[in-house]
Amino acid sequence: MNNIEILTKRTRIRLIHFSDLDAIHNLHLLPETDEFNTLGIPKNSEETKSIIELWIKENNLLEITNYTFAIENKSDKTFIGLFGFKLWNKKHRRGEVWYKIHSKHWNKGFATEALVEMINFGFNKLNLHRIQAGCAVDNIGSIKVIEKAGMIREGRGRQILPLKSGWSDNFEYAILETDKRD
């Protein structure tokens, strides 16, 4: 079993466990976190369980290409949200990140703190050249997080996200290993 732990000033980022099922299910049930997410609200905890079973299986491969992390508050171990890191073909040294934060932890800097550290993890530990992220054009909170973390908006994918509200355009962001980072 892989045991990756990434610490920030206020958070602990670790690979998800089955014990996270209730927290992940509750996160996925929130309409406000579902608004810009293509996963949808699960029908029941069994549906969430089938999703995280795949994530846990991927986290335990000898060579991980799709990481799923839990973000916890270091001080009280409260579940803050999820963070994903998908690796593309090794030759391209490219990864894509995503995150989903519980709404009670919005506007507190946790997402930015986690994203900055995960970018560092991608470049320093995974030896990536490029890290990408995307978000719905109306997802102002996520846009702020991504830009505060130093990612650069590169383009706009038209009607690429099938959201509950209909098809949404997606802003495409990236940061390169050669870009200036704090």
Q: Is 167 exposed, middle or buried (0-12, 13-18, 19+ CB in 10 A)?
A: exposed
Encode pLDDT of 63-111 as tens digits: 899 999 999 999 999 999 999 999 998 999 999 999 999 999 999 999 9
**Confidence (pTM):** 0.93
With pLDDT > 70 as the criterion, what percentage of the chain qualifies?
99
Select from 159, 97, 153 the least CA-distant residue to 126. 97
Give the C-alpha separation, 2 to 132, whole Å.
24
Give the C-alpha separation, 10 to 109, whole Å.
10
What's the confidence (pLDDT) of residue 41? Answer: 87
Encode pLDDT of 33-44 as tens digits: 888 988 888 889
| pLDDT surpassing 80 at residue 18 | yes
Tell which CATH architecture fits domain 5-133.
3-Layer(aba) Sandwich (3.40)
Is residue 105 within 8 A of residue 99, CB to CB? The reply is no
Q: What residue segments make up the domains of the chain, in order of their start?
A: 5-133
Average pLDDT of the chain?
94
Is residue 72 within 8 A of residue 79, CB to CB? The reply is yes
- Average confidence (pLDDT) over 13-19: 96
What's the confidence (pLDDT) of residue 104? Answer: 96
